[in-house]
A and B are shown apart, each in its own frame.
Chain A
């Protein structure tokens, strides 16, 4: 039973056997006796008045149990709440009815629902509903949307601006007045579709006999969903149980409360039978939130020697047709505060306009605000480097916050916990052979070949917490995390976490933490999550918070268990508590390791309970809520080398090197996996993915055939390394790593592509870097005919 350092070991994932063999249970796998199937009719018009809806033909179809319109359910359906009401921003939260009653405002708005004994019948019935629409003028373009006189998405939100958020630190006007060099640019951070492999859905079962409602749903935060559903449906929390069965990815899109989950819950209550709805991919594309979608006007002030003085940013953030659950916080709090990035930029000014349009609501998507910020800083640093003729690596090294300055308060008020930015960048440069690549670039250019090198030295803010900060920014709840650790009489351990992992591997990571703390085999620990009836109240899994925050609660909880076990051991060994030594799961009196009590023996004593020290309760169990004192700030340096085909404009990634620092690493294999997945999605934004609407508000990239999600075949070999700078305030020294890939990588690729074309006078190219876009630039510059 010898246990050696589990923390830091690439333990195979405990969740994999059931996932790989397909034996796990997802929401759509669930079948209950008497279960009905619901299908939603969503409007084909992005903006229209509903004149009439006829449902008779649909109701007459064999197998159809019920058909409801928005009007039918109007009184029972409360508006979808917005839970991140940012202060001091003139926030206007428009009414968000789960089903449209008079008006539809984007092509995902639900106008009717069919309920049938069979999913296929429910779908067929949709075609028998006749809706008469009066089309209204559509607003898609953000910059047009804010102009006076433009049609309004919501009559009570003038100019379609739902918030105007400002942040400043230092004296930006002075910085720009004193600047010797100013670089300016307009960036488009395009709209993305999260594309979790499992789409969204819910199964609701209501018992009128007990008044209890159980909802199985695709959730990243079942406790939050229970609270929001409870408020919306009027069922008290103790009668409402939310279960997230196996969840196949979320990337932020399963944080929110959507109309679908509310409607099926209501239908089950109305019809007295279990009701299931599960979206298909197309419905997912229009009905599940999107991410990013910024237009950014940015400028950077500097001295000729490359010293950066100030940063000014004005952003239009597309919020879609309604404000989704945490939407206002994404392009503001999670975006603006981190703008200075890794640099000692003492003067920063940022203004963000939240703009409503007739499009799918935009909310958190992997990285959520931070990729949009990091892109600005890292692109501007490159543009500045090219302008003053300095190597972009040298410019970064010149402006980095020095390692000895931590903890370091940046201009926006955040205090970075720890960091060593030059070390990460130097390691990445060494791995890719930076100097040799630069030489090769010069010689290839002479032959008409295009090689570019792009750096991204990012810092991000994650481990979303603490509660004081969350509340000060208008977040609806605190941001802590919880766990219950139950040591059973035989010494086996169940860990109940308030977080809700859905692919990230924390069943393994957390088991490693507990096994290490208690000195027991990892197979003796089971991690339970995703069921509000079993787990303590927690905020869920997003914002790279699960390992630093929920993991922190687990480490602290395990230490409390160890503490109590130590007291029992001392009592059993008839020794003083302070003389006890704990080593590899055994307590003994210092100097006499042969005479020891194992954790397992102590657990049994705790439950037989006839011989416990005075004042000690029976049992060995603890519940811990951990509310961190600060965020954690992972960082790193990514370097990308691209070759551009001068004839076609195709951008091919030759090398991709990522050096990430997420503090103390618990499972290196899982961390690598998180980096791989994040890079895949970040490179996807750089090169392929883009949600496109036409002027009528139709999502023209409405399927996986049009929206280009890359596969392993398109992606380069990822060359990874890490530096390890523990977070000084976190109980396990860990920082998050779930989002570093999407935060760091888009600008590494764009910097590389622009670098390849810099000699042609190119300063910026918007994402995705489509071959045609590059080809046009090449042709305009005369490099190709």
Chain B
């Protein structure tokens, strides 16, 4: 909310209720005036951010930013387009780390062979982010930095224990996914920092993951989404578990207690049910036009169970 109010012009009346905006009825689809700059290096981009401070916003895929500007829910005096900066779009594996450039489009992740073989959970998400048109243009970095509480990638990076790389005036730093999300539309990124890379540890041999979400229709914000990645040791004992929730609170949530309930236990219907219950019990989801808090909570349980089962099934197939 903090960041949102900073986006807003003085004239706009805005009330945030859950994820839904009730805005000035005269708001239209025509943005306020802004200037557009397209730096060709990260260094230039960072210095533009330093120069213009809160007046500048980074344009990656623009699939959230541009609609907000058109609705005048947000105004950026300077739009810093990072699409002309080289080497921000890639998917590669180096020393047991899978690295994704922040400008990589959702559709590129969905089509990646590396992801298909190592992290099919990424394909699950890439195929359900918004709609096909958005997927061709929107970027994983932009979506994470936007930090919509019902966004798909937030739940994914939390489940995978990813690290996010940011570049700012003082150079590069890494932020753990679990610490990245602060509040609704608010992250640890400073106003002069640019998210450049997502780093995911290469999964162990006996591991599997899945992402499932409940939505009213394709392209709608998730009612809830659940990402789960698990790894098994000898005798079917769970040695690693990551669970990320979308739509279940003011920000993407890591279901830490549910993860703990699984680790060290043999995976079974019982343990999955228990983890799902814990996952739901520890959320306090919002109510909005899409769903009540009560329903969201119940669906966190259903979808945590279904996702864990899907992750196990996937492991069995490998």
Across the interface, do B217 and A699 meet the contact criterion of CB distance under 8 Å? no
Selecting from A416-424, A474-482, A524-532, A707-715, the interface stretch reads A707-715
> Looking at the complex, which of A281-289, A654-662, A739-747 is the stretch in contact with chain B?
A281-289
B130 to chain A, nearest CB (A): 11
* Chain B residue contacts of A714, Cβ below 8 A: 217-218
A771, B214: Cβ atoms closer than 8 Å: yes
625-661 of chain A: CB within 8 A of chain B: 647-648, 650
Count residues on chain A whose CB falls below 8 Å from chain B CBs: 43
User: A648, A699, A772: which contacts B25 (Cβ < 8 A)?
Assistant: A699
Q: How far is the CA of A705 from the CA of B292 in the complex (A)?
A: 17
Which residues of the partner chain A approach B299 to less than 8 Å between Cβ atoms? 648
Give chain A residues whose Cβ lies under 8 Å from the Cβ of B221: 705
Contact call B217/A710, Cβ cutoff below 8 A: yes
Cα distance A648–B29 in the bound complex, in angstroms = 35
Q: Choose, from A118-126, A220-228, A562-570, A671-679, the stretch at the interface.
A: A118-126
Chain B, residues 1-35, CB within 8 Å of chain A (1/0): the string is 00000000101010000001011111111101100
Cα separation A708 to B27 with both chains bound (whole Å): 20
A623 sits at the interface (CB 8 A) = no
Interface residues of B in 71-111 (CB under 8 A from A): 71
CA distance A688 to B219 in the complex (A): 13
Known contacts A120-B30, A688-B217, A772-B295; is A698 also within 8 Å of B302 by CB? Answer: no
Q: A647-B302, A648-B302, A688-B216 are in contact. Are A282 and B22 (CB under 8 A)?
A: no
Find the B residue at minimum CB distance from A713: B218
Q: CB distance B29 to A281 under 8 Å?
A: yes
Q: How many angstroms between the C-alpha atoms of A29 and B33 in the bound complex?
A: 23
B191 to A: closest C-beta gap in Å? 25
Q: How far is the CA of A541 from the CA of B223 in the complex (A)?
A: 40
B25 near A702: Cβ-Cβ < 8 Å: yes
**Given A700-B20, A708-B216, A711-B131, also A119-B30 (CB < 8 A):** yes
Closest B residue by C-beta to A41: B26
Complex Cα distance A772/B33, Å?
42
Cβ < 8 Å to B, chain A residues 448-504 = none
Residue of B9, B28, B131, B292 ringed by the most chain A CB atoms within 10 A: B28
**B289–A44 touching, CB < 8 Å:** no
Given contacts A44-B24, A700-B289, contact A282 B302 (CB under 8 A): no
The B interface, classified by DSSP as helix, strand, loop or mixed, is loop
Contacts of A56 in B (CB 8 A): none
A775 CA to B299 CA, complexed, in Å: 10
Say whether, besides A700-B20, A706-B20, A282 and B217 are in contact (CB < 8 Å): no
- Closest Cβ–Cβ distance, residue B150 to chain A (whole Å): 12
A127 contacts chain B at the CB level, 8 A cutoff? yes
**What are the residues of chain A within 8 A of B112 when measuring CB–CB?**
none
Do the beta carbons of A772 and B131 come within 8 Å of each other? no
Q: How far is the CB of A288 from chain B (nearest CB, A)?
A: 13
- Asked if B298 lies at the interface with its beta carbon under 8 angstroms from chain A, I say yes
Residues of B within 8 A of A713 (CB): 217-218
Contact A42 B25 (CB under 8 A): yes
Q: Does A692 contact B (CB under 8 A)?
A: yes
A701 adjacent to chain B (CB < 8 Å): yes
Residues of A whose CB lies within 8 Å of any CB of B are 39-44, 107-108, 119-120, 123-124, 126-127, 280-283, 286, 647-648, 650, 688, 692, 694, 698-703, 705-706, 708, 710-711, 713-714, 770-772, 775-776
A–B pairs, 14, beta carbons within 8 Å: A44-B25, A120-B30, A120-B33, A127-B9, A127-B11, A280-B29, A282-B27, A648-B214, A688-B216, A702-B25, A705-B220, A708-B216, A708-B217, A771-B216
